[in-house]
Structure 1
Amino acid sequence: MNPYGQEIKKFISSQYLYAGTRIALSIVLPSILLAYFGLLKEYFLFPLATSFVGLTDQVGPFIRRRNALLLAVLSLTFVAWIGMLLAPYPVAALLTLIVFGLFFSMIGVYGQRLMAVGGLTLVVYSIFIDGHLTQGPVAKNILVYALGSLWYLLVFLVFSKLQPYKLASQMIGENYLELGEYLKLKAEFYELSVDYESTYSLVIAKQINIKNLQQDTREVVFKTRTLVSESTTTSRLLMLLFLNSIDLYEKLFTSDQNYRKLHSAFDKHHILEEISSYLQLLSTELIGIGISLQASAKPRPQKDYKEAHRKLYHTFFELRKNHLSAQTLEDFMALRLVLSRISSVTEDISTIYKIGTQDIRMAKSLSSGLDLNLFVPKEEKLSTKVFRDNLSLKSYHFRHAVRIVTALSIGYLLSLVPYYSIGHSYWILITILAIMRPAYSTTKHRNLLRLYGTLGGAVVAYWILKSTSHPTVLLSILLGSMIFCFTLLKGKYAWAVFFMTIYIFIGFNFLNPGNINALFRDRLIDTAIAGVIVYAVSYFVLPVWEHSQNPLLMRKSLQANTDYLMLVCKRLQGENIDNQNYKLARKEAVIALANLSDNFQRMLSDPKNQQRRLEIVHQFVNTSHLVTAYSASLAQYASDGKYPELSVANWQKKILSQLETSKALLENRPTTSMHNDTDNFISSAVEELLEERKEQLTEEKFLDHRDPTLVPRLTELKNIYDIMELLLDVVREQRKVLETFHKEI
């Protein structure tokens, strides 16, 4: 598939374009109808209400989305009414703004969905206390606004009824798209000119994206009744595909090879380049699967990857035939395991094609045997106790609410200063709410993106309105801009603001033609004022710096890694570990690692004086990543305890001693005698077996067996042994990092 064509198909079939188009059409179609009858200016509150309720529609299970939209209809309509009443009374409006600001910012303690409702509620109140957008009787205006709010709710209910599986299919497809991009990054490690540091950084960033997407998809898939309770072929097939994507991610996540050593041994033979090319091919297949799922189509192979797989093994066998010796044995064993993992991923892709196109009976017989509720992100229950408990300066939510109220109050007071004569002063408050986030680093980033997007969009919109006044052309541009804005709002904020500015200019021009210069001036001035306010308030008013969260996130990651690794070791020893507990431990380890990595990346945007112990935290993040990755590598073998030669219990005891010491350091507990680096570790029978094999290669002729499915037992034993050694080295290094961290606290 052409890369550009692939990108276009990804975009066209995505949930973001689908949702953006739905919201845009919900706004534009009633507007066209009203304009046809000459009523748009009188009833423009109808599409305005539709747009705000649509923006509160967050991805999730149907019932949660429906309930959130109902709440949005009520809260947005209520504050619009209050805003209309208080618009002539600035003092009363300011006091109510403070009360609403605290309350609707604090409901974010109940999750992202209510945080979105609260934020948009404050946006609506900010618009209506300005007073310039409403004329005529309050009762009529509020009725029109309420009907516009209910209109989007009706559209949502109809689309959900007509396409109950659409969102789940698109989100599962997006998981495969991300896995394809992740595999493409992993392929770079086998290229001759690989930059290890930058590639590792990109890999970690992609892991954060995958974690967030998996969390959202779990909520949609595991909390949607039609997927969990109904026994339709479609629901079972989608569930199977999502569970498969999680297991596939574990295989791709493994980092059990020393890439530098592989390059040193095989660069001159070019087989690593072939591996990279083949992984790129598999990446294309995964992306194709993702696009098909997003488009609700059956996935079909993009290329003959099976033939490419056979050619890769042929290259390996020829290379082994000509160069295997006692000196190169360990290098070829490592390469053999790389190919084994690649074969496993290839088999998974073949299974996906089989499920999607032929053997539907596989989906009908699906039974995960898991309590799916345990895998869904937990949201706070709607209790007043949770709200009251967060009314404290120790609460990040409360500190954020205070910053919101402070910034809104400053913005509103500035908008009342007659000297500036700003015609759209409510844009200051809207921009404050759009930019400000709980973390300073995120706020700073959005502030810059908002500025870039607004400036670019204003210039383009100004040029469009100066170039043409044809209603059909302007309406087409407005609809396109709306679709792109709502589509890009989550992932490409600067571009979303760019298109938002264009459709705002055109929309206001329809309502009040010939006022382009004032629009241009007000939009840029208001954005600049809001940006300065947000920056100052975020920096000086109860700021939350990322370094303050590091100790907690480090403890969570360390504990999750310990739990996951211990279950893997027990399975290696043949203990019967419940599959559900194992999968839960794996999920928690991956999530904890991604949260820690994400927090570290945000810390890099904090002021230099707030990037405390940056290098130490960076080292801890890297070692945590390796512990999780090596544990996932071991998990590929952890099935029936068939490796008694490895003395896994002794390895486990040694590694656990280091991890317990690290936990004690993080928890500020005594660490005396919890580890002893001078102990002689038990020698492994693997080394003896390896020496025997080298002697055989020296004394006997090599037998050229060419079975791609056969991985010699000694190769597996050697790989597990190497991973155990690497794990022990990494947890020792992590303990040393925490000793330094402990001293600097």
Structure 2
Amino acid sequence: MNYATELRKFATSQYIFSAVRITLAIVAPSIILAYFGVLKEYFLFPLATSFVGLTDQPGPFIRRRNALIFAIICFFAVSVIATLLKDFPPIIYLEIILFGMFFSMIGVYGQRLAAVGSLSLVVLAIFVDGHLSQGNLVKNSLIFLAGSVCYLLVFLVVSKIQPYKLAGQMIGENYLELSDYLKLKSRFYLQNPDFDALYLQVISQQVKIKNLQEETRETVFKTRKIVNESTTTSRLLMLMFLNSIDLHEKLMTSESDYGKIQESFGETGLLESISDYLSKLAEELSNIGIALQSGTKAKSLRNLDDELDQVFDEYFDLRNKKLNPDTLENFMIMRIILLRISDITEQINTIYKVFTQDQKLAKSLSTGLDLKEFITNDEKLNFKVLLNNISLKSTHFRHSVRITLAMLTGYIISQMEFLGIGHSYWILITIVAIMRPAYSTTKHRNLLRLYGTVAGAVVAYAILHTVHNNTALFTILLLSMILCFSFLKAQYSWAVFFMTIYIFLTFNFLNPGNINNIFRDRILDTAIAGVVAFAVSYFVLPVWEHTQNLDFMKKSSKSNAKYFKAAMDFFKDENIGIQEYKLKRKDAIIDLANLSDNFQRMISDPKNQQKKMEQVHQFVNTAHLITAYIASFSQYSKNAKDYPEIDFDSWNRKISAELLRTGLILEQKKFDVDIVEESRLKPEDSVDQLLEKRKKEISESEIMNRRDPNRITHLTELKNLQEILELIYDVAKEQRKVAEKLEPVI
């Protein structure tokens, strides 16, 4: 691992940038208040700032601004109502039920409002029994409101000063994830690879890329300054993001029969050279990503063309020694692999050139796409959406019931005096932080929360017993806050670890000498909340992942069929535009990632809820391969007219029929015999005859030492096209057989 590169990734990321912004928005007013000796009295000010800051999700400026305003309104209303009702215990239970249900249910409108809802429940937890709201109600409410507005003002100022910063960082992160994806692909060429483990990692990485692409697509395509303004930065950012999506497809095309490749070339050393070169390409993608995140211009780390020439030289040397009629097809496969690697190299070189575009050239850049078509439609903010989800069939409603019941249970426990709980609101906060709609996610976060809390408490305890210099403690507090907010999205356990440290230090500054009580309460409250969250998630209206498998399979199967049709139509030049093709590609990748993500969560469900795990795993793998092979097929720059030796019409009907059969089986619909007959068509290709002719030529004449990396024979292209079509059909057939085993209930 290159630690310097990893550090640069982290230091230039949107997470550290956001964390520093939130931390400074909290700390700067706190220092001023502490200077005047009123920090304890005005502690609600920085507390409100932190809550509003945590609701700030990446996305278009207008949506972020509106969500922050909504959060301020919600937090203020909840704090006032909770403070007014704190002396009426019976009403508090009704308050928890109403707020618990409402603020959990608003998650139906998307992740942004789900975050607002969760933090609103945290505000409720803090104010529900008056721990932090003693004194004048009006004064405390205004202090809390002022702290909330403080972050909004910071957000508006920063967004005005750096309007392209978030988009650049998110696009850069796309390239960093593609780099990790390519590193995984490079491992398939190492000696004795564990194919099953690698495929699982590749599928998991596909999920990450899909989620990030969706977030970035919303941010880029719905940011007016990027879409509408003809500035150098806006045009280049748009082009860089679209290039990253195209590059993702190119990386998917590197899918091959790795077992056969290892068998043919495993002992030659060529595969290790390819793996090493792919790792170097991954480093270049990291370099591009870091440059985009930091807002600088990227320069290539090495001469990629020279490095690629060395790989080709090794291939040509091996070809001259080993090529014969028996190995001809193996070398054809390898030649296509190298062609794909050349395409990826050319794409990366093009991306580097984009960084050098000047003002005039940038203004001439145009995508030629209707960008609105690539945005996922969000649920409209109308009351009907909320009402339609008030049903046990709705995962949002079931989650709302669970979280409300868990909060009621946690609150009841916190009121049991014999337990001697000193910071009872920590139980409710931890329940809200842990619980998620999926049992598997709740279970995972529960463990991470426990590990992070225990480790953080031990470290914080040691720090407070060994470090007595306030400047040093304040520095540790500052760093802990930044690291906590930085890791909150990607590394939850580390986020909780640093959160625990800064909470200990904060309480020590506000109330010195109380460390033993804080240590005991933090561990006890986290343990209690963890038990409550686990029990409720397991026993109360659980949503097991296997119940959603069928829907995701249907969507993936249907979108792959449409993706293949679009790719074939585009290849046959049947009046289909590039936009229509890219839309179908986007849908196929999204549905594949959703299916894969659901399967990953299913692995964490209890064993008795992992229904038909083996078949589901096979379906996910075949769906991944179908999408990848279609991507390979779509990469040909020529069209069907240039390859008359292949019967594309028959292949189209054959594969489409097989994909349709799978979809109908999943839908439990009957299909005509004609569809079965279509899937059994035998295309009338003439490739095999040409191949036999070429083998005869090789056996009868001396092999010519041609070493042109850019030259590829027509026969090699034909053989590769035929093989891709065969692979798509074979995997589609395998997927159909898996679907038959899943009948009638998944």
TM-score (norm: length of structure 2): 0.98
In the aligned structure 2, how far is the partner of 1:654 from the partner of 1:533? 54
* Counterpart contact for 2:431–2:529, Cα < 8 Å: yes
**CA-to-aligned-CA distance 1:531-566 (integer Å, 9 cap, x gap):** 010011001111100011111000000000000001
Is it true that 1:732 corresponds to 2:713 in the alignment?
Answer: no
CA distance in 2, matches of 1:690, 1:655: 23
1:149 maps to which residue?
148
Aligned residue type for 1:346: T
Counterpart code for 1:705: R
Does the aligned pair in 2 maintain the 1:256–1:723 contact within 8 Å? Answer: no
Give yes or no for the alignment of 1:429 onto 2:433: no
In the other structure, the counterpart of 1:705 is: 706
Alpha-carbon deviation of 1:471?
Answer: 1.6
Which residue matches 1:517?
516
Partner residue in 2 for 1:648:
648
Aligned to 2:670: 670
Counterpart Cα distance in 2 of 1:396 and 1:62 = 29
Structure 1, unpaired ranges of 5+: none
Secondary structure of 2:225 counterpart: helix
**Greater mean deviation of Cα atoms: 210-219 or 684-693:** 684-693
CA contact (8 A) 2:615 2:741 kept: yes
Aligned to 1:249: 248
Structure 1 residue 704, shift from structure 2 partner: 2.1
The match for 1:367 is 366
- Counterparts of 1:452-471 in structure 2, within 5 Å, are 452-471=451-470
2:48 corresponding residue in structure 1: 49
C-alpha displacement at 1:677, in angstroms? Answer: 8.9
The 2-side partners of 1:279 and 1:614 are apart by 33
Equivalence map 1:262-281=2 (5 Å): 262-281=261-280
Aligned counterparts, 1:6-405, within 5 A: 6-358=5-357, 361-405=360-404
Q: Could you say what secondary structure the match of 1:422 adopts? A: coil
Q: Could you say which residue in structure 1 is the equivalent of 2:658?
A: 658
Q: 1:401-456 CA distances to partner (integer Å, 9 max, x unpaired)?
A: 00011001111111111211211000000000000000000000000000000000
Q: Tell me the amino acid that sits aligned with residue 239 of structure 1.
A: M
Give per-residue Cα distances to partners, 1:471-523, cap 9 Å, x unaligned: 21111111100000000000000000000001111111111111111101111
Instruction: Go from structure 1 to structure 2 and tell me whether the alpha carbon gap of 1:680 and 1:634 turns closer, same or farther (over 3 Å shift).
Output: closer
Q: Partner letter of residue 644 of structure 2? A: P
1:589 counterpart = 2:588: yes
User: Counterpart in 1 of 2:558?
Assistant: 559
Consecutive unaligned residues in structure 2, runs of 5 or more: none
Aligned residue number for residue 682 of structure 2: 681
Letter in 2 for 1:736: K
Q: Deviations over 1:544-590 (max 9, x none)?
A: 00011111000000000000001111222232211111101000000
Give deviations 1:603-650, integer Å, cap 9, x for gaps.
011111111111111111111111101100100116532222211110
**Which residue number corresponds to residue 633 of structure 2?**
634
- SS of 2:355's equivalent in the other structure is helix
Q: 2:134, 2:208 → 1: CA distance?
A: 46
Give the deviation of 1:703 after TM superposition.
2.3
SS of 2:297 mapped into structure 1: coil
Contact 2:668 2:744 in 1 (8 A): no
User: Are the aligned partners of 2:556 and 2:595 in contact in 1 as well (CA < 8 Å)?
Assistant: yes
- Measure, in 2, the Cα distance between the counterparts of 1:39 and 1:733: 70
TM-aligned CA deviation for residue 304 of structure 1: 2.5
How has the CA–CA distance of structure 1 residues 278 and 248 changed in structure 2, closer, same or farther, with 3 Å as cutoff?
same
Give runs of aligned pairs for residues 405-484 of structure 1, distance below 5 A: 405-484=404-483
* Distance in 1 between residues matched to 2:575 and 2:360, nearest whole Å: 29
Q: Distance in 2 between matches of 1:150 and 1:724?
A: 59
- Which amino acid is 2:464 matched to? L
Task: Pick closer, same or farther for the CA change 1:461–1:256 going to 2, 3 Å.
Answer: closer
Structure 1 residue 358: deviation in Å? 4.9
Following superposition, which runs of at least 4 residues in structure 1 exceed 3 angstroms of deviation?
358-362, 676-680
Q: Which moved more, 1:656-665 or 1:334-343?
A: 656-665
- Supply the distance in 2 between the matched residues of 1:683 and 1:569 (Cα, whole angstroms): 17
- Provide the rounded CA distance (Å) in 2 between the counterparts of 1:639 and 1:530: 61
1:691 pairs with 2:692:
yes
1:267 CA displacement: 2.2
* More divergent stretch after superposition (635-644 vs 560-569): 635-644
1:481–1:499 contact (8 Å) kept in structure 2 = yes
Matched, 1:527 2:493: no
- State the Cα deviation string for residues 40-64 of structure 1 (Å, max 9, x = none): 0000100000000000000100000
CA drift at 1:377: 2.5
Letter in 1 for 2:28: L
**Whole-Å separation in 1 of the counterparts to 2:592 and 2:494:** 30
Q: Is the 8 A contact 2:556 2:588 kept in 1?
A: yes
1:324-375 deviation per Cα after TM superposition (whole angstroms, max 9, x unaligned): 2222111111111111011111111111111103556543221112121221
CA contact (8 A) 2:254 2:337 kept: no
Provide the rounded CA distance (Å) in 2 between the counterparts of 1:87 and 1:675: 69
* Residues 358 and 61 (structure 1), Cα distance of their counterparts in 2 relative to 1, 3 Å cut: closer
1:648-687 deviations in Å (ceiling 9; x for gaps): 1101111111122111111111135231499461331111
What root-mean-square deviation, in Å, do the aligned CA atoms of Structure 1 and Structure 2 show?
1.3
CA contact (8 A) 1:286 1:349 kept: yes
Contact 1:452/1:494 (CA < 8 Å) preserved in 2?
Answer: yes
SS of match in other structure, 1:269: coil
Cα distance between partner residues in 2 of 1:534 and 1:204: 29
Q: CA deviation at 1:711?
A: 1.5
**AA aligned opposite 1:373:** K
Distance in 1, matches of 2:666 and 2:679, equals: 23
C-alpha contact (below 8 Å) 1:573/1:649 kept by paired residues: no
Q: Cα deviations across residues 249-297 of structure 1 (Å, max 9, x unaligned)?
A: 0010124422121222222221111111111111111101111111100
2:262 and 2:718 mapped to 1: Cα distance? 22
Contact conserved, 2:655 with 2:679, CA < 8 A, in 1?
A: no
Q: Which moved more, 1:367-376 or 1:331-340?
A: 367-376
Quote the sequence identity (%): 57
CA distance in 2, matches of 1:327, 1:412: 74
Residue 134 of structure 1 aligns with an amino acid whose one-letter code is: S
> Distance between the aligned counterparts of 2:562 and 2:681, measured in 1?
26
Amino acid across the alignment from 1:723: I
Alignment of 1:569 with 2:562, yes or no, is no
Equivalent pairs, count: 744
**Deviation string, structure 1 residues 69-119 (Cα, Å, up to 9, x no partner):** 000111101101111111122211221111011111111000000000011
User: Could you tell me which amino acid in structure 2 is paired with residue 586 of structure 1?
Assistant: R
Counterpart-to-counterpart distance in 1, 2:365 and 2:262:
42
Partners of 1:255 and 1:626 within 8 A in 2? no
- Residues 248 and 360 (structure 1 numbering): CA distance in 2 closer, same or farther, change over 3 Å? farther
- SS of the aligned residue for 1:675 comes to helix
3-state SS of the aligned residue for 1:419?
Answer: helix
8 Å contact kept, 1:509–1:515: yes
TM-score under structure 1 length normalisation? 0.98
Aligned mates of 1:136, 1:351 — CA distance in 2: 64
Cα shift readout 1:121-158 (whole Å, capped 9, x = no counterpart): 01001100121212210000000000000000000000
